[in-house]
Structure 1
Amino acid sequence: MPWDHGALPEPVTPESEGMDSERLSLVDGYLQGYVDQEKLAGSSFAVMRRGRLVYYNAFGHARRETEQPMAADTIHRIYSMSKPITSVALLTLYEQGKFQLDDPIEKYLPEFAEMRVLTGGSAAQPVTRHATASITPRHIMTHTAGLTYGFEGVPHAVDEIYRYRKIGNDKQTLAEFTEALGKAPLRFDPGTSWNYSYGTDVQGRLIEALSGMRFDDYLQSTLFDPLGMVDTSFTVAADKADRLANNYTRPRGPLELFEDATDSPYLRQRVFKSGGGGLTSTLPDYMRFGQMLANKGELDGARVLGRKTVEYATSNHLPGGADMEAMGAGGFAESAFRGVGFCLIGSVCIDPVAAPNMQSLGDYGWGGAAGTRFWVDPQEDLMCVFMTQFMPGGRYPVQEYLRHLVLQSIVD
């Protein structure tokens, strides 16, 4: 069945793919409820089973102020849903034999040689020692490198150092970013714990070093063009600007603008191409990316990764098969910790009973700060994408309940 670029695939009845329409329609009331209660301005959701579109609907507004409806082609800031895209791009270089997962990363990025770990002191006067191991590509792909993000409000001295030195600011090139990162101490020895971090942005710089291309050019030629992701980019083009959604928040009750689409930084070129959180995309574009993964690396005749690579990459890569909770994970993440490991693309369910919401063994995916989420369930041959624009996205358990509503509708 043909699938035009930038559009949704042709829908089929849920019954034709072993799902119950009436059960699946519960999604409508659930998502409309968030709009009616003014918790979200709008959202859209799509479910693919066995490569066929069995559910799609959009709710509410992309821009409430002008009553612009949410649509399939609405452009969203996908924030950390950029991460799986970057990791897949790096895996294409892994397939070419450009690196091994456990290589010392200083082999390719010498600025990470002689890393040190914070042991005490303060951000102004840190006490450090030499790290017991080198950072590796596997570490930066699983957030176990000892790096962090420098989020506001995080009191750890290393996060304070990131903030003071403005590591990851929009005016840095990726090379300048990793140079600055290499001079900051680590929070822990590589491979000994889990902490959400700039690791995926380091992947972007590693892609440049290995490919000899600019990171954004590599994404375009290796993923976006072959997969027909026509609306995915770091900058929203002028002729598409009217499709960018507003981003909302709710600090005092009513929804308020967090970022006005008409004056968004995403309308302007930024030097820092953040593979960890800088892309914009649409529901159909991300569906094409997700379905490529669900198809074990191929979509519409374009093969991005080999079948075995996808299976290997979506296995748990945390040491000893641990879940994130056992790795000492804490603070912010786009996933639960218990019963959930980390693969080379995102989180992966390793214990469905221990995990806090119903999901299949091997279910993997990731989300973004404004509430977007995608997941692939290989056991049930499902691929789902949810889009919205609300900060912080983790305030509501939308994604968890959507999983329940999708899985309870399977009847074959």
Structure 2
Amino acid sequence: MDDIADAVGRAWLDDRPWAFLTDLTAIGNRMGGSEGEARAARLVADAFEDAGLRRVRQQSFEVNEWRRGRTELELVAPDRREFEAIALPYCPAGDVRGELVDVGYGTPAEIDEVDVEGKVAVASTTTPSGGRFVHRMEKYGYAAEAGAEAFAFVNHVPGQLPPTGSLTFGEEASIPAVGVSKETGAWLSEYAGEDGVVELTVEAETVPGESRNVLGAVGPDTDEAVLVLAHYDAHDIAEGALDNGCGIATLLVAARILAEADLDIGVRFGAVGCEETGLLGSEHLASMTDFDSVKAVVNVDGAGRFRNLVAMSHTSAATADVARRMSRATRHPIEVREEPHPFSDQWPFVRAGVPALQLHSDSGERGRGWGHTHADTRDKVDDRNVREHGALAALLVRELAEESVEIPALDEYELEEAFREAEFEPGMKAAGLWPEDWD
């Protein structure tokens, strides 16, 4: 570590991560394909240059851009009252009148227990403790397949905070869906028991658009390299400070440190767009990548938000060992989780057998907390976490880039079995993510 010790030391005092995060969150709307996302890409490119990355460039790609319009949710029986609601990305425009039905957590078993045909299904954002994680896309997709006319996604966190989150991966969805606050959800559930009826109006459109990835590199030009990713887009309802402003700022701290390191192999960086609307940036990057040239992928999604770093190894024993060794060497806690999941930018690479680490952090509470709500703002950030996690990320990547550290490719059959054991198959199939050759 001697070659970057000074750079790591400077990172503790550096005010540039906070300045970058301030400029990024001041943009406001960074929704995939929007002008705000394009402005953010330019900001990231300038920051890459300033950090000492080489060959900095923007790589554009076509997307289906979703644009939010007016949303109205009104109870029309047994009483008459209006509720705040926000459309979920890729929600189609439409007018719906239907009876409310409470489906609890929105698990397939709960939806099967009630009649949702022609009704508005009301489901929580969280999942039962002790059971498998059920993603929003699975809840929505299962309710739609069961005949629901619309879907209401209820935040389990109090504070009058309707949640957002994409319904599909890059395509317009089938039925209208909205996010509502925990407080509104409590009323909807009560009215559901009284044969309550709502009218829902959504104005939205999905149009051809353009997004871009921002790329750069440090270290030697080698045939094999470590790839480091973070998404810079965010939902349009807030500033995206936690998700994923902290992550891209953490990546920049790591990049600045690694630019001064004596690396055995090169490190490529990718700030990717359109993660929130379907991993579209990382999918595009993967489509242009020779997977044999990537020793490992490090996805910085969720790092820097909370105090302790979490390293998700996505079934790779080798990357998990690197994280554990680094935790011991630095005497900083790094919680290692080995189970895989497909809902972030490592997935297009893990699917192809590339070993991964996803750098995250955990508040200890269930769910996203402030994320995906109006409250995802800069004041929630402690930039000490950003700087510390950036330094730890740099040290992790540096070890992955050592020629003496062997990181075997993932075994396809072991990966498939791990996803089955984690009971991801139903949800991934509902979201269209289950690889065809796994059937």
TM class by smaller structure: under 0.3
With normalisation by structure 1, the TM-score equals 0.27
Higher strand share: 2
Flag the structure with larger Rg: 2
